[in-house]
Structure 1
């Protein structure tokens, strides 16, 4: 879908020039064009303009009011189970047109396999939420969380927790690396809960999200105001939020801190959730020596996490921890695999890794690698690749997969500096307790993995590291055939982590729906509680 670039009305380009199409926002039931041209976004491979992104002139107060006053009531005319069926229909509509999104994603530097992680992963996530909602949630808008608790000796007075939809709006602010999945993993549970959503995609890949929203709009299935899209900055939108509203953020820890400090959150208690990038680690067990299945699994997983989406995943392995005596063998095994990676334009013959999202992102990754090099040596990579397939290495945002080795794991750099690209640092540890200590130095991570077939080693590392992680994968010869991998969060389980990782939780099955509901303790006669919960016979 290279044809997305086209002259916009009012443009007067020089002859032969490629002019980016100005993205529209979907707000108050119509596609809205901003004032002026906005920020130009370029193709990650060719450097050509793709889209101009701006929200200049957007009436943010009216956008929020439309969600609350139109979208919320429209959604709540149906119940949980019916809204889950709606989510299924929307996901299937996206599935029918998935190829459009896959092809468009090539402009972000993503290979077809990378784009599938985003597009098919997002669709699959929405379908999981839809399935759980249809099977496990009631028809109405009241969810009884637990059984009634007797509060008196005579059995005439009891209490029960009831969950009902909040009367506000969700503002989801998403990262550039997952323009489809990032939206759907938040949107699906919000719709099922009966809470309207305003989506703010990252500017670099907003054109992919915009196309996905156009597909959803064209179904005619969405109730008015249930979904709005803001392409560009959010301006003063957060100023119009209150105690019934929610903000769901994915991105950098610095931006999360800024949003968390907004008066709407600090003074009005807007429900805030953050999922931030983190320095995730993977540990090779002492038993996983060369020749064992676990040694091969570790090397394969590390290379996959470094190269999938060119390492631009919040769950990628940034720190690879191996027994000190295996540093050389692991370094050689990973280097051999990385040497077979073909870097180039998505769709070009043989390409297995595409480009970073843009030149600015590559500059940030290179700067982070320079900081890491003060504590580590480069094993392979370290900069732009010598060759790329089907593209010009000077115009494309290409980066060679970079493996570093730090022989002093006590140095702070590997545990504090994140290169958000195809970069990982290899470090040695003395024993499982030392590995746990090194994992904890990341100050909170989304995920860790332990590759070992020794149950005692696994127990010591998992239980020691659990407090510092939102998810831990144990990989061995027994589960490898079905394992979804280190970097893939599953919608049935929570995605998030403590500390640096944002301190929040996303997904987690119906927990994600409950996040958008208000829990109220109701005290009354048992017959009243049954009637309110819809369980009266």
Structure 2
């Protein structure tokens, strides 16, 4: 029985199994979270005293080189991450976004640090500004590391890139990180952290990993610390309103629900190249990562006289998408991250149907490709049409975080 471990205060912690984490592809158990209690007060102090000290013993240039070394090591072991990530429902193309995209983020910040930041740990920002009539006083801005820890709470859709996009700038800035991945896909994040540790480029205390609940972690944060969050708006509000976050004015940054739109201009018709580009981009955003991208298109604004043409073309494009086990040849869209997520998407589709109708999906004959997929978290692409948005359109407020988008007709720009 595989029990995932937290990496806290320089030690891998976790022996007793807790929650089982099933594969999104076939329902088989991939791993368990651990039931061991974590000492978050010690974790925060360790991050500040050990991680912070070790990071400040380096300068921007040295930390940039360390990021590059970690990226190279992860790249060498990406097949291990690919194999495990398949259980989250990710296809090869999806892994290119999450896993290779994660390496790319490390490389980018490493390059930025080498090119744009000085030696040492102080950045001079901006010119000198006179503050007195006779120029007896003047001021200028300098930027220095905060001296605290950064708590990163990540979403389930990007277990590698989601962690590394936050870790890279934090590390470069000389600030230790405490990472809490979403539970359903945390087994991929745990492997990535193990590989980063094996690389030898990770200073002691600069990265800690929480598997499971954050417990009383927020109670031990102080003014120098920061919290970043990716997930639902409801969870963001709950975390942001934690008494210690409010009382100490601890910086809290949230990336929450997104209802992105694509707009077809009124002068574009099916004869134009832009029409095909528009449709293909919607298909791609609906099906990449099974529609589980924060940037996925949820609302499709179309001139009223082009609604049928767009719906017909999207129906044609989406009918070509084979959904199933990512290891099967020809599969172009995998599963949602978990059964819980599948149920959540289905419930939100039902809410959307109160103001819209189905154009694609929901016919009742869907079957995912591959053995055992009936136990997986698969769903076909769903395209909806809100014919009378002036009478109400749920797509403006409801996000079905999967391969779901709604066509919304408009009269004028």
Please report the TM-score for the alignment, with normalisation by the length of structure 1: 0.75
**What's the counterpart of residue 411 of structure 2?**
430
In structure 1, which of residues 207, 220, 226 is the aligned counterpart of residue 206 of structure 2? 226
Task: Determine the structure 2 residue equivalent to 1:43.
Answer: 23
With over 3 angstroms needed to count, the CA separation of the structure-2 counterparts of 1:119 and 1:385, relative to structure 1, is farther
Structure 1 equivalent of residue 157 of structure 2: 177
TM-superposed CA distance for 1:154, in Å, is: 5.1
1:42-441 matches, within 5 Å, as 42-54=22-34, 56-152=36-132, 155-382=135-362, 386-410=366-390, 411-432=392-413
1:254-297 per-position Cα deviation (integer Å, ceiling 9, x unaligned): 00000100122211011110001211111011122101111000
Contact map agreement 1:284 1:298 (CA 8 A) in 2: yes
1:30 paired with 2:11, answer yes
Give the gaps of 5 or more residues in structure 1.
Answer: 1-6, 8-20, 433-537
Question: SS at the partner of 1:47?
Answer: coil
Distance 2:73 2:364 in 1: 39
1:174-219 per-residue CA deviation (whole Å, 9 max, x = no partner) reads: 0000000000000000000000000000000000000000000001
* Distance (Å, rounded) in 2 between the aligned partners of 1:93 and 1:209: 15
1:299-353 Cα distance to aligned partner (Å, 9 max, x none): 0011111110111111111111111100000000000000110111012021001
Deviation at 1:150, TM superposition (A): 2.4
Q: By how many angstroms is 1:408 displaced?
A: 1.2
CA contact (8 A) 2:155 2:231 kept: yes
Give 1:116 deviation, angstroms: 1.2
- Residue 424 of structure 1 aligns to a residue in which SS? strand
Q: Secondary structure at the match of 2:297?
A: coil
- Aligned-pair CA distance for 1:391: 2.9
Aligned pair count?
412
2: CA distance between counterparts of 1:196 and 1:60? 14
Alpha-carbon distance in 1 for matches of 2:363, 2:162 = 29
Instruction: Give, in whole Å, the separation in 1 of the partners of 2:405 and 2:116.
Output: 41
CA contact under 8 A between 1:368 and 1:418: conserved in structure 2? yes
Query: Conserved in 2, the CA contact under 8 Å of 1:24 and 1:32?
Result: yes
The answer on whether the counterparts of 2:359 and 2:384 sit within 8 Å (CA) in structure 1 is: yes
Please state whether the residue corresponding to 1:146 is helix, strand or coil: strand
Shift of 1:375: 0.7
Q: Quick one: distance in 2 between partners of 1:150 and 1:319?
A: 50
SS of residue in 1 equivalent to 2:126: coil
Mark the CA change 1:334 to 1:427 in structure 2 (over 3 Å): closer, same or farther. Answer: same
Report if aligned partners of 1:384, 1:400 keep a CA contact under 8 Å in 2: no
**Partners of 2:108 and 2:148 in 1: how far apart?**
25
Work out whether residues 349 and 389 of structure 1, in 8 Å CA contact, stay in contact via their aligned partners in 2.
no
Q: Which residue pairs with 1:446 in the alignment?
A: none
Instruction: Indicate conservation of the 8 Å contact 1:385/1:398, yes or no.
Output: no
Range with greater deviation from structure 2 (385-394 or 259-268): 385-394
Which whole-Å CA distance do the structure 2 matches of 1:384 and 1:105 have between them? 29
Q: Kindly state the Cα deviation for residue 77 of structure 1 after the two structures are TM-superposed.
A: 0.8
The question of whether the paired residues in 1 share the 8 Å contact of 2:26 and 2:374 is answered with: no
Over 3 Å counting, the alpha-carbon distance change for 1:393 and 1:384 in structure 2 is farther
Residues 28, 66 of structure 1: 8 Å contact kept: yes
TM-score by length of 2: 0.97
Cα offset for 1:392? 3.5
**Aligned-partner Cα distance in 1 for 2:50–2:124:** 26
Partner in structure 2 of residue 444 of structure 1: none
Q: Secondary structure at the match of 1:390?
A: coil
Contact 1:29 1:225 in 2 (8 A): yes
Task: Tell me, yes or no, if the aligned pair for 2:44 and 2:149 is still in contact at 8 Å.
Answer: yes
Computed over aligned residues only, the root mean square deviation of the Cα atoms, in angstroms, reads 1.3
Say which SS state the counterpart of residue 79 (structure 2) adopts.
helix
Tell me the alpha carbon deviations over residues 24-76 of structure 1, each in whole angstroms, 9 at most, x when there is no partner.
Answer: 01111121115x32111101111000111135311111111100111001101
